[in-house]
Structure 1
Amino acid sequence: MRVELRPWSRRLALSFLEQGLSECGVKHATRELEEVLSVLGTLPGWLSFYGLRRCIGMPHRAALREAEEQAVAIASRERGNLLEGRGRWARRVVRMLAYGARWTEMLRESEISEKAPRDFRFLGPHHSLSSCLIVVRLHWLRLTQGARLGGSPCGVVGDSRG
């Protein structure tokens, strides 16, 4: 069995946090919840991670910091898994993808082979290379649309160059 949770709309995510914290009896400000969405995004797992910490008594800042640190650590491991065993070209391609490069630009600028697009296999018809990319900058987490933490959304295989 495979369960896949995609990011929620901002409105649904805010409602989820408000309801969950209210049910736990946790006082919260709307600006705190807006900050949670700004930092963690709208992935249900990370919202739950934050919410649980608030429900067991952690203050907003501590719960958000812990959730962000955990998310960054997992995203860093995922990025490492994506690049493991691949040559320098892979780091360059990932960096270019982070800035929205197209295949033609990557072929021209990174010297990967023209067969590289065929060397990537995705788990479903709705995935694209950008949905596989996880970008971590300092302690600020941004996920491309469709990506998720805690397990790669796509099974990237193949390598066109060492």
Structure 2
Amino acid sequence: MSPAKSCAALHLDNQLCFALYSTSLMLTKVYKPLLQSIGLTYPQYLAMLVLWEGDGITVGDISARLLTDPGSLTPLLKRLEAEGLITRTRSSADERVVELRLTAQGRALQKQAEAFPACIAEALGQSGSELMALKDDVIALRDKLQNAL
């Protein structure tokens, strides 16, 4: 039996999904040594970015910002708490709600992380305006996909 004729539309290199997936993997690899220097994983870094924007938010808030399920964040947040970077407390108004606050140590990490965007821009060899345009295009794509669901 001869192999089925290959359909160009199904070639891996012709897939937008693979281009985005593989690019995300490479970007995470570029971040890895930066994040290791401050003791964070990439998912922890994303959570800390949200907290650095606005301290005193709920698990639901951070879940919405990261487009993830609140239950999947719990182990990550427990680890950040164990490392002394955040506190997790039940809301006095509604004990089902968990509020997150940065510790002094968590706030101090922000200063170290402030150099990361410039490091990423240098690794990509693009100007700030080029990176912002690319980010805007990717966000527009994400929004279209979200609306299609």
TM-score under structure 2 length normalisation: 0.30
TM-score under structure 1 length normalisation: 0.28
More helix by share: 2
Q: Find the structure with the greater CA-based Rg.
A: 2
